[in-house]
Amino acid sequence: QPCWSEYLTTRIEQNMVVNCTCPISECRAQPTTAFIYSIVSSEEIIAKYEKALLRGYVECCSNLTWCTNPQGCDQILLKDGLGYGTACSKCSWISCFNCNFPEAHYPASCSHMSHMTCAKCNHGFCWRCLKPWKPTHKDYYNCSAMVSKAAWQEKRFQDYNERCTFHHHAREFALSLRNRVSSISEMPKIRTLTFVLDACKVLEQARKVLAYSCVYSYYNQDTESMDVVEQQTESLELHTNAL
């Protein structure tokens, strides 16, 4: 029993307990959950084992996923019926279930979030695997012949990138402001500040949309609908700044 306890404890601590087999190389038997409970006595190790089981179950179910909040959230989400704008019931984070980007990025599409362009030669590539966005670089772009266009593209990218970065920073300010107002509202003899908290939430969401609108506009500049999009974005930005 002591040998089994040490073996299973090690496997659990190394996150290798799921599908582990008997330590004898010729034996492929797997210890059952009941057996592990009877051998391992540490509550801390058992808690790690149960988390490993839950994690393995979620990873095996294509219809389940974890909340992608980068601040940390252990909520399990059911993908079915979760359209855009549906927030985590625990932390209110809005995830994207169609790509690996950690949050919903409307109005930018999933391809916009993964398609990067070199500012020097306009080479398109995927930021996840670094492979060319198109089959080969030389087939669709001639760097030496397009220096002026590359310079224009670099300036354009810098402009949109600066706008996007500004709105992300402004979004962080809105979140910080909401946290400060929330702490003040908990003090005695202070009138309810619910309307201010609601305004901070709207401000934070507006900055998020404006940031990803920069990504959307950068990749869709030549489409016919961009004039309308730019007008709506400008209007949203003016109202957001006023708020």
Per-residue CA distances from 32 to 100, 184, 243 (Å) = 34, 52, 59
Question: In the chain, what are the domain boundaries?
Answer: 1-56, 61-104, 114-242
The pLDDT of residue 171: 92
Rounded Cα distance, 187 and 190, in Å: 6
CATH of 114-242, one of 2.60.120.10, 1.10.150.170, 1.20.120.1750, 3.30.390.30: 1.20.120.1750
pLDDT one-digit tens code per residue, 6-44: 888 888 887 777 778 888 878 888 888 888 888 888 888
Q: Please give the mean pLDDT across all residues of the chain.
A: 77
The pLDDT of residue 137: 36
pTM of the model: 0.50
Rounded Cα distance, 160 and 112, in Å: 13
pLDDT one-digit tens code per residue, 50-60: 888 888 888 78
In DSSP notation, 41-55 reads: --HHHHHHHHHHHHH
Task: Find the Cα–Cα–Cα–Cα dihedral 91, 96, 100, 105, rounded to 10°.
Answer: -100
> Which pLDDT band, with edges at 50, 70 and 90, does 181 fall under?
confident
Structure tokens at 209: 């949309």
DSSP 132: B
pLDDT more than 70, % of the chain: 74
The pLDDT of residue 207: 93
Rounded Cα distance, 158 and 166, in Å: 12
Q: In the chain, where does DSSP find H-type helix?
A: 2-13, 33-39, 43-60, 110-114, 137-140, 147-185, 194-219, 226-242
